[in-house]
Amino acid sequence: ICRTKDDSMINNHRHFLSTGDKSLKFEEFIPLYKELLDEKDTGTFADFMEAFKTFDREGQGFISGAELRHVL
Rounded CA gap, 3 and 51, in Å? 13
H/E stretch holding 68 reads helix 65-71
Q: Which residues have CB under 8 Å from 36's CB, separation 6+?
A: 1, 4
- Taking the C-alpha atoms of residue 32 and residue 27, their distance in angstroms, rounded to an integer, is 10
More confident residue, 63 or 13: 63
pLDDT in tens, 21-61: 667 788 878 888 888 787 777 778 888 888 888 888 778 88
pLDDT of residue 16: 61
